Amino acid sequence: MGLPAVWHILQPFLKARALGMSKFNYNSYGRDFREYEEFKVRINGLVAKAQKVAEEGWVMQDGTPCPGNNTRDHPEMIQVG
């Protein structure tokens, strides 16, 4: 929807409330869109980093392995039916 189409829709509303199109900043659209795209890239990077599991399992900040992340430490589960 371009500016003329938006103006056609908003004109009665803006005139009734004594607002003009000068109240809207159309120059910030490109900057806002770029910031949003950069934000999406950062979020997707964080999600990918969180989903990636190291081969040795999760490790705490001090370097020790997190308790319970080694599958060899757990006995097999038996399903009783």
Per DSSP, the three-state class of 4 is helix
pTM for the model stands at 0.39
Return the pLDDT at 10.
72
Residue 24 · residue 10 · CB < 8 Å: no
- Record the tokens describing residue 78, joined without a space: 């038996």
Q: Encode the chain (81 residues) as per-residue pLDDT tens digits.
A: 556 666 667 777 766 666 555 556 666 677 778 888 999 999 999 888 877 766 666 778 888 877 766 666 656 655 565
CB under 8 Å to 56, separation ≥6 — which residues? 65
Return the pLDDT at 9.
74
Return the pLDDT at 62.
86
